[in-house]
Amino acid sequence: MEKNYEITYIIAPNLDDAAKVALVERFDKILTDNGAEIVDSKDWSKRRFAYEIGGFNEGIYHVVNVKASDDAALSEFDRLSKIADGILRHMIVVR
């Protein structure tokens, strides 16, 4: 059975546009390579944080809506986003 997920992650604001696009494409590809279908993947905006995260006071929010029948894609995304330099925080929610 396929479930809908929403993945929100915060990208470090010190990345230039090319690096940010490469990061988003890399993580979108991680999802599709592991069997998930991306409904949409879009930037929200750059926002200030209530408190400092990793030495930054602001970050670029990115939201991905995904359909997946198993947790393989989400587990891999979760694992790799924890060690990626450009991602400050991420959250995966079942819709």
For residue 87, the one-letter residue type is I
Domain definitions of the chain by residue range: 10-85
Element (H, E) at 40: strand 37-53
pTM as predicted: 0.92
Task: For residue 7, list its beta bridge partners.
Answer: 64, 92
Phi (first) and psi of residue 89, to 5 degrees: -150, 155
* CATH tag, 10-85: 3.30.70.60
Give 10-residue mean pLDDT values along the chain (95 residues).
94 95 96 95 94 95 94 94 95 95
Phi (first) and psi of residue 71, to 5 degrees: -90, 5
